[in-house]
Structure 1
Amino acid sequence: MMVTKQIIVTLTNGLHSKTAQSFVRKALAFQSDIKVVRHNKMVDGKSLLGLLSLGIATGNVVTVKAEGLDEKEAVSILTSFLKNEIDVE
């Protein structure tokens, strides 16, 4: 089973290097396999270079997918992060 959620990114400056690093740190905390999709390009959600290669900006539509033991929690936390609902450390 895979959990998938499509959202509109509302991070103030999109996913630039600092926020991408925070996203990867959060993703690495989960056991699940995490993917981020934009414009039919799918990357590993635990790969900083992969995420940056998507060029995610505010207002972009992205899909977060997770498969594994903590997939629901992973998708919930990571999409909340991209929607600017939880703090960037």
Structure 2
Amino acid sequence: MAERTVTVASASGLHARPASIFAKAAGEQPAQVTIEKVGGNPVQASSILMLMTLGAGNGDEVTLRAEGEGAEESVAALAALLEKDLDAEE
């Protein structure tokens, strides 16, 4: 299992546009990835609706987990996205 804890860099957190970008990227990964906020329940990273229920704001720590083929690469790619301000992405 691959796991990484990262800090959400987007100014609006994982809401609206950043959640959409992140969910799309998660759906393109070879491994199934979950994301959870500290003390919360894991949700499917590829679901925009589930991402928005996390309530993850700017500066919050979230943990990504994936199992199976491509798990490390999937977690690394998604962690890199969370560490950027997706509000500013074109």
Q: TM-score, normalised by structure 1?
A: 0.88
CA contact (8 A) 1:22 1:88 kept: no
Can you give the 5+ residue segments of structure 1 that lack an aligned partner in the other structure?
none
8 A contact 1:32–1:68 mirrored in 2: yes
- Counterpart of 1:20 in structure 2 is 19
Alignment partner, residue 79 of structure 1: 79
SS in structure 2 opposite 1:66? strand
Per-residue deviation at 1:12?
2.1
**Other-structure match for 1:65:** 65
Q: Does residue 1:5 correspond to 2:8, yes or no?
A: no
Q: Which runs of 4+ in 1 moved over 2 A?
A: 85-89
Residues 72, 85 of structure 1: CA spacing in aligned structure 2 closer, same or farther, 3 A cutoff? farther
**Residues 22-37 of structure 1: pairs in structure 2 closer than 5 A:** 22-37=21-36
For 1:56, the equivalent position in structure 2 comes to: 56
Which letter does structure 1 place at the counterpart of 2:46?
Answer: K
Measure how far apart 1:72 and its partner are: 1.0
For the residue of structure 2 that corresponds to 1:35, the secondary structure is strand
Q: Equivalent residue of 2:18, what SS?
A: helix
Query: Over residues 53-87 of structure 1, what are the superposed CA-to-partner deviations in whole Å (9 max), with x where a residue is unaligned?
Result: 00110110100111121111111111111110788
Give the alignment's Cα RMSD to 1 decimal.
Answer: 1.8
Normalising by structure 2, we get a TM-score of: 0.87
Contact 1:81 1:88 in 2 (8 A): no
Alpha-carbon distance between aligned partners in 2 of 1:55 and 1:65, rounded to the nearest angstrom: 18
Superposed displacement of residue 88, structure 1: 3.7
Between the aligned partners of 2:24 and 2:46, the Cα distance in structure 1 is 8
Count, aligned residues: 88
